[in-house]
């Protein structure tokens, strides 16, 4: 990942003239719904970082391993969660809490689920420099709920200082898409947590039904036993 951000300016130019980057910055453009965004950047409230889904174009431009999966950490907020916990620009987040990451929203959903359960300890699997590193982090609900302004993202730390102007240009050109993803994120996370609650409720109902069936069977068995005794 060394000097990977030198590719920013070239990537923005190529986005208009060649596949797979044809169209308006298609390697970075966010879709309207963050829930299914696989081609756009997103600010992670959990990590105070700008995350980018990994596709063939990103793998090529940032010289990632061909089999790379997860999300690329484009930048981190100085003094933010990722920065404090040792997650760096250029890292590839592959797993959170033992679950594979496919798109940026997966990171925040997993962290928010852990926080809702009353836990602040988080585990990440990070690919860095050809090695996979386990990162143990502490994330609080307070830090998760802090507001992040899109306007401040352009000043965040990237992989190299040489590419800062290209990075700022990129964030400026994609600010609307990044803001849209940020606005959609909270709704998406809450929807996932609501689904979890519904699934838990269904499981509880099933368990109660099973318990009632067991009690009924026990009562029937007891009645049968009593009848047999009377016959004797």
Which two three-digit tokens encode residue 44? 């992670």
Among 9-18, 96-105, 205-214, the range scoring the smallest mean pLDDT is 9-18
Domain positions in the chain: 4-138+156-195
Share of the chain above pLDDT 90, in %: 38
Residue 3 predicted with pLDDT over 70: no
State the pLDDT at residue 167: 83
| In CATH, 4-138+156-195 is 1.10.4190.10 | no
State the pLDDT at residue 191: 73
- CB distance 132 to 113 below 8 Å: no
Cβ-Cβ contacts under 8 Å for 190 (sequence gap 6 or more)? none
State the pLDDT at residue 22: 31
pTM: 0.68
pLDDT in tens, 24-43: 333 333 333 334 444 578 99
Residue 144 predicted with pLDDT over 80: yes
Residue 98 predicted with pLDDT over 80: yes
């Amino acid at each position: 990942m060394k000097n990977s951000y030198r590719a920013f300016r070239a990537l923005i130019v190529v986005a208009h003239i060649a596949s797979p980057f044809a169209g308006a910055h298609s390697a970075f453009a966010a879709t309207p719904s963050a829930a299914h965004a696989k081609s756009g950047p997103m600010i992670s409230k959990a990590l105070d970082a700008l995350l980018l889904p990994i596709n063939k174009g990103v793998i090529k431009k940032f010289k990632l391993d061909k089999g790379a999966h997860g999300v690329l950490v484009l930048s981190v907020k100085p003094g933010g969660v990722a920065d404090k916990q040792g997650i760096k620009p250029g890292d590839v987040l592959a797993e959170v809490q033992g679950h594979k990451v496919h798109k940026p929203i997966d990171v925040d959903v997993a962290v928010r689920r852990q926080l809702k359960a009353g836990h602040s300890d988080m585990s990440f699997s990070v690919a860095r420099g050809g090695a996979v590193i386990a990162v143990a982090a502490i994330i609080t609900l307070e830090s998760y709920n802090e507001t992040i302004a899109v306007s401040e993202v352009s000043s965040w730390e990237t992989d190299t200082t040489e590419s800062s102007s290209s990075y700022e240009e990129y964030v400026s050109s994609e600010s609307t898409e990044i803001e849209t993803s940020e606005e959609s994120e909270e709704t998406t996370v809450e929807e996932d947590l609501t689904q979890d609650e519904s699934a838990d409720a269904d499981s509880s109902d099933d368990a109660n039904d099973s318990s009632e069936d067991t009690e009924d069977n026990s009562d029937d068995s007891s009645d049968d036993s009593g009848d047999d005794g009377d016959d004797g």
